[in-house]
Structure 1
């Protein structure tokens, strides 16, 4: 791994902020690195306020979306809430449908089948709406590129309102309203909302006409916080406010479906990381292994007994998902070795029987192993479908765009995308993708990077320091958990490898008479760097360790040298 120490901010600016906030210079320096340089900015950062959410009507087409939905509600039309089968899509559908159901009984939900219909708006979904006398579809977390589908719906007398956050293509669909902060002609001040976030702005706008305040909408923010974490959008600006209050809801008054999923979890306060690793995979498992509607049903269920039943089914799907992704990852790694492709700039693998629901997870696992832009293909109907994952700093969406001659369709973000192509195009695409990446990627990006915020001495890690540090959350892109580096430390002599296959490293770092416990997940192979009390330097985050009812601070090692 390469360690990159962030440049230290200007000393005078650090001093001024430290004095204004009555904090030490390390805390002030961390804030400045996150773009916070004044008392007022720090107040907004540490005390996010719902008053700082933007007016939803600043989003292009919001007025059109609201008036069309209000017309449908007033005239008793059937409305269908449509969303994708991932966490962002299913939470969006749960959010908007449960809100609209407080205003009308004629609300249907629809999640496309991952295997029969694939990603985004489907002709089958539109036909279903037509067959059921549905005259308005509100699509969430998808639709920005559905030009032909929206035109098809129009021919059948069905209107569309689209709420998306993906990058638009050259044309915008001819819908009644297209809400997407990434539209070039949209002047909405915050561009990084997830799909569920755009859905929340829509209910915020509808609520104004119902004489409701933002406080009436607070119970929906647990869904928004979950989508923000799962979709890996920046936790800055408006997303930070939504995630902050959403976590409060999850920890104090979660919806019945969350209670059911968390019934086995003994942790008192969940962070956004816990949400990403405990709640999100379970929601995702329904769409991966069975059908996304199972997740929507759980998220909108109001009877605990029924919700517990749904949750146990989803637990079983999640267990199946784990087995499938482990097996496919092993097969993919074997394929790379067999084809002697360890030294390429890209990883592109294909097997027609791989489970389409887990290829995204497998792509992430392969990226962890070989650390390069990765695509995992499987057969989907008459075509091949793939999930793409990238490495820090490299835009895989742009790379796919450069290969578009060989692709049927694609969509996504800088670091994660999906695509389909014809089987006969696979070899040409694979070569082209390798060529594009090898000629455009900065070779440094192929070595995993640890970005270190600042140097820190062990005696600076005090309970007060950690109390303030905790308030930097919720974390995510744009506001990552602070990473520190300490040089010249040694183990007190009791360091050892722990866990299955002795994969992890447990030790106690000591410097200048101060010793603090450490855990390094996956760092077992580096034990030889700390034994016999030799000096080493370490990059780490700080968290709490609870053992036998005792809570103490510990270093979570990211790497040692």
Structure 2
């Protein structure tokens, strides 16, 4: 048995609908199953999902205050006013800023941009920046990807006589800022159909309204910002992301071209993963460590040489960011592990932690401990802490923080992520309240990480053609996650650790005549947890592996489980305990059957539980649900059968069966041997086996042990007397069968024990144990 890392939430599709859709659309069963699972269960729905067009783009004037904002911006351009685009420092923010700036430039505006420094100014609009803008004769400020919580700053703008247009997509607070216009689809009184636009998506809608056409020249920026900000890729967002990726495969801005070259991204192969894991993090890096300006300059640059230098700078910043994150994550983990128990909501903090990467560290802690997490950078000189929070399924982080407003003068975000500022002195109060909310609202099952599985498949169904059909469902992301495929109860054709540190796992999965390769990154240790003859189930993503001119399907495995008990064959190992992973110490029970094995027990790890059958009565319940090492050969089948007859069977069996002597290959005298020797004794009446036994055995071609065994059986049966090596016949003994001799019976059983347990094949041994397990459960003590 092997427990999965996550709780698998498996959804079964209606296979009749799947087959019908596959036939109607001429696609693979895998692709059809995906469509049905996602709700596109008839031809019309499926075709609208597969064949997107510009009709999916909604009218920008459906956004509340859009008409008012557009009129004001056009007036500012016409009157030659100074306009400031006020942005944010993450990837969504820098793409939003670049898009709005380029749009206004295209319209002939006098425009500049400003992104606050995360470390000196914090998140969002601030009074000092607004006052400085006024000094620069700015009369119109347009925020992008920020501002929905800027109530004070809106009042400052009014006081300064500066019109403020807020464009944002974050959750609105109870009181909306009193700005000239507020464009945010999440406002209660905004009826725009797409509530899930990214900040760059909202900026794109403003550009659409200003230009009175769909500004396709900026759709690449929309794709980058939307994917990096993890907004749901459905409906309009899906079309914008797909078109943006497509545009990036044809032509790139100088900055993006240089960045992609530096990341070794082939534009023709670009997909959402390149944006999410390579381009997005690098655009984020500048604002996380210092100013976001280099990232914006990269997107705005029209000079190849400048773009190349900026790409190198941003990549170097990203490497520095990775180093900082690794160090902080280690320190944060140590803080959590130092607690007696892991609380329901983690809050960790330290002076000197880089406030720009605390969100990444929070995500790392959620991944490791699976608890809602807030990571704080403490500034003891001001008594303030800047925090970033990440959540788990079933816990609405934004709503929980909303119940703690008394300690949070500034916070904002989403159900799964948030940012905040607070006084250090209130940290304990916040943790107590957040833990209480979590413990009373999170369902029991949501404390365990879940893995949504929506694509059960057979190995035979996984072909390159099927995977190509599946890739047509991209781009994948939030709202349209990459499908997690499930392959159940298949055999292992091959298992191998790979990588310089052997920390990755390569598998070949076999189902009847079909074989599929799989790779599980950072799961090399699981190779030792898989029995070669176990049937396992895996969850992962299907992909196409192109290598050395060969193209074949493969699975990127994310989780593995084995539901059945597993047998591990250690019969050739002299020190079998060294082959068992000690991380399972609490589950391991060692069974030693013979007194001569006592010396071996001293070598067993002290944390393991040992049961010595030769020391008296055994409580067999200790073997329930455990990993059992059968150290040596049992004295009887009954001992072994008792272990496997417990109610909750052992999850793993490590068969070692260390032994000093083979009875199976020793001579077992036949009935003719017994008859001849008895006749020999009757003629001699006595025989000195110590003095003449070896000669007799040699003469007859027997072994001396075989001869002594015959004598012991005769003694058991009362046929002879034995004294100091002298064997004498007993007159007129009763008639008895050989099977009545305990010595004979034990020898026969030991020979059979060795045959079944030592000299059987791996599969034969497992079948024998399985048959014992399937017998009626007996109660033992």
SS of the residue corresponding to residue 537 of structure 1 reads strand
Provide the C-alpha distance between the structure 1 equivalents of 2:291 and 2:462, rounded to a whole number of angstroms.
Answer: 47
1:34–1:478: 8 Å Cα contact kept in structure 2? Answer: no
Provide the C-alpha distance between the structure 2 equivalents of 1:237 and 1:464, rounded to a whole number of angstroms.
Answer: 26
* Structure-to-structure mapping, 1:77-476, within 5 angstroms: 77-208=81-212, 213-214=213-214, 217-264=215-262, 265-267=264-266, 268-341=268-341, 343-380=342-379, 381-476=382-477
1:290–1:317: 8 Å Cα contact kept in structure 2? Answer: no
Provide the C-alpha distance between the structure 1 equivalents of 2:180 and 2:406, rounded to a whole number of angstroms.
Answer: 31
CA drift at 1:499: 3.1
2:65–2:182: 8 Å Cα contact kept in structure 1? Answer: yes
1:87–1:230: 8 Å Cα contact kept in structure 2? Answer: yes
Could you list the per-position Cα deviations for residues 144-170 of structure 1 after superposition, in whole angstroms to 9, with x for gaps in the alignment? 111110110111011011111111112
CA drift at 1:549: 4.0
Gaps of 5+ in 2: 562-781
2:50–2:472: 8 Å Cα contact kept in structure 1? Answer: yes
Provide the C-alpha distance between the structure 1 equivalents of 2:62 and 2:254, rounded to a whole number of angstroms.
Answer: 33
Provide the C-alpha distance between the structure 2 equivalents of 1:344 and 1:333, rounded to a whole number of angstroms.
Answer: 13
Could you list the per-position Cα deviations for residues 157-197 of structure 1 after superposition, in whole angstroms to 9, with x for gaps in the alignment? 11011111111112221212111110000110111000000
Could you list the per-position Cα deviations for residues 187-243 of structure 1 after superposition, in whole angstroms to 9, with x for gaps in the alignment? 1011100000000000001111xxxx42xx222111111111111111101100000
2:30–2:461: 8 Å Cα contact kept in structure 1? Answer: no
User: Which residue in 2 is equivalent to 1:497?
Assistant: 497
Bigger drift between 390-399 and 74-83 goes to: 390-399
Gaps of 5+ in 1: none
CA drift at 1:338: 2.0
Provide the C-alpha distance between the structure 2 equivalents of 1:469 and 1:151, rounded to a whole number of angstroms.
Answer: 51
User: Which residue in 2 is equivalent to 1:30?
Assistant: 34
SS of the residue corresponding to residue 532 of structure 2 reads helix
User: Which residue in 2 is equivalent to 1:509?
Assistant: 509
Normalising by structure 1, report the TM-score.
0.95
2:386–2:420: 8 Å Cα contact kept in structure 1? Answer: yes
User: Which residue in 1 is equivalent to 2:697?
Assistant: none
Could you list the per-position Cα deviations for residues 379-435 of structure 1 after superposition, in whole angstroms to 9, with x for gaps in the alignment? 245410110001123211111112222222210011110111111111211222222
SS of the residue corresponding to residue 391 of structure 1 reads coil
1:504–1:523: 8 Å Cα contact kept in structure 2? Answer: yes
Say yes or no: does 1:76 pair with 2:77: no
Could you list the per-position Cα deviations for residues 424-471 of structure 1 after superposition, in whole angstroms to 9, with x for gaps in the alignment? 111211222222212211121121111111321111112221121010
CA drift at 1:11: 4.8
1:18–1:28: 8 Å Cα contact kept in structure 2? Answer: yes
SS of the residue corresponding to residue 517 of structure 1 reads strand
Could you list the per-position Cα deviations for residues 352-404 of structure 1 after superposition, in whole angstroms to 9, with x for gaps in the alignment? 11111111110011111101100100124541011000112321111111222
User: Which residue in 2 is equivalent to 1:47?
Assistant: 51
CA drift at 1:24: 4.3
SS of the residue corresponding to residue 243 of structure 1 reads helix
Provide the C-alpha distance between the structure 2 equivalents of 1:149 and 1:158, rounded to a whole number of angstroms.
Answer: 11
Provide the C-alpha distance between the structure 1 equivalents of 2:232 and 2:551, rounded to a whole number of angstroms.
Answer: 30
Say yes or no: does 1:540 pair with 2:540: yes
User: Which residue in 1 is equivalent to 2:584?
Assistant: none
2:491–2:533: 8 Å Cα contact kept in structure 1? Answer: yes
Could you list the per-position Cα deviations for residues 263-321 of structure 1 after superposition, in whole angstroms to 9, with x for gaps in the alignment? 13143411111111110111000001110111111111111110111111111111110
RMSD of the TM alignment (CA)? 1.6
2:282–2:315: 8 Å Cα contact kept in structure 1? Answer: yes
Could you list the per-position Cα deviations for residues 62-82 of structure 1 after superposition, in whole angstroms to 9, with x for gaps in the alignment? 101110100001110011011
Provide the C-alpha distance between the structure 1 equivalents of 2:276 and 2:134, rounded to a whole number of angstroms.
Answer: 36
1:8–1:29: 8 Å Cα contact kept in structure 2? Answer: no
CA drift at 1:12: 4.9
2:77–2:109: 8 Å Cα contact kept in structure 1? Answer: no
User: Which structure: larger Rg?
Assistant: 2
CA drift at 1:49: 0.7
CA shift in 2, pair 1:24/1:259, >3 Å: closer
CA drift at 1:25: 4.4
Bigger drift between 20-29 and 465-474 goes to: 20-29
Provide the C-alpha distance between the structure 1 equivalents of 2:87 and 2:140, rounded to a whole number of angstroms.
Answer: 14
